Chains A and B, each alone.
Chain A
Amino acid sequence: MLAVATSAQAAPVVEAEPSRLVLGPRARAEITVREAGPNLHGAVSLGTLVAGTSGGDFTRFSWTPPVDARAPALVLFAFWSGDSPTLGDITVLGLPCSGRTELAIETEPSAQVTVEVAGARFGPRRADRQGRLKLPVEVGPQAHEARVIAELSDQSKIRVLPLNLPPSPWLLAPSPGSSVEGAPVIVLLVVPDTEESAGVELASDGAKVEQLGSLGRRLLFRVTPDRDRSSVPLVARTLDGSVRAQMTLEVVRPVPSAAAPAPPSTPPPGRWVLGGQIGGYVGGGSNGGPQGALVVGYGLPGLPLVVELEVGVRHQSVSTQVGTLGVQSSSLTVFPLELALRWEALSTGTFRLGVRGGGGFLVGSHHLSSTFDSELTESALGWEVFAALQAGLQVGPVEPYIEVRPALSKVSTDHLEARPGGGIFSVGVRGVLR
Chain B
Amino acid sequence: MSRLRCLVAGLCLAGCSGATLPAPAVVSVTPAERPASSSGPVTVTIDAVLPTLADHGLSTVTVDDNLTLKIGPRPFGPSHWADAGVITDFLPSVLPDGNYDVTVELGDGRLTTATSAFRVTTGEWPTGYIIDMIANQRSGVPFGVTLRAQGGQDGGYDGTVYLSVPGATVDPLISGPFLAGVRVEVITVTVDHPGQYHLDVSDLGGRTGRSLNFQISQ
Contacts and interface: CB of A to CB of B under 8 A. Distances in A.
Q: Do A and B bind each other?
A: yes
Contact of A285 (B52, B53, B57): B57
B57 A418 contact: yes
Contacts of A420: 56
A415 to B, nearest CB: 5
B81 A373 contact: yes
Interface in B178-211: none
A372 B85 contact: yes
Interface string B38-50: 0000000001111
B21 interface: yes
Contacts of B14: 381
Given A284-B57, A318-B59, A320-B59, A328 B52 contact: yes
Contact of B52 (A368, A371, A382, A418): A368
A374 B48 contact: yes
B17 interface: yes
B2 interface: no
Given A323-B65, A372-B81, A413 B17 contact: yes
A416 B48 contact: no
A240 interface: no
B61 A318 contact: yes
Given A318-B60, A318-B61, 11 more contacts: A284-B57, A285-B59, A287-B56, A373-B63, A376-B19, A379-B19, A413-B17, A414-B19, A415-B52, A416-B54, A417-B57
Contact of A419 (B18, B56, B65): B56
A218 to B, nearest CB: 74
A136 interface: no
A376 B65 contact: no
A418 B59 contact: no
Contacts of B57: 283-287, 417-419
Contacts of B84: 326, 371-373
A415 B54 CA distance: 6
Given A322-B61, A325-B65, A376-B49, A330 B85 contact: no
Contact of A330 (B16, B49, B54, B82): B54
Interface string A356-384: 00000000001010011111111111100
A316 interface: yes
A332 interface: yes
B55 interface: yes
Contacts of B19: 376-379, 413-415
Given A374-B47, A376-B21, A381 B16 contact: yes
Interface string B88-131: 00000000000000000000000000000000000000000000
Nearest to A364: B17
Given A284-B57, A371-B84, A417-B53, A322 B21 contact: no
Nearest to B83: A372
Contacts of B18: 378-380, 413-416
B13 interface: yes
B95 to A, nearest CB: 29
B52 to A, nearest CB: 5
A230 to B, nearest CB: 70
Contacts of B16: 379, 381
Contacts of A374: 47-49
B1 to A, nearest CB: 23
9 closest residue pairs by CB, A with B = A413-B18, A330-B54, A378-B19, A381-B17, A418-B56, A285-B57, A286-B56, A328-B61, A417-B55
B45 to A, nearest CB: 12
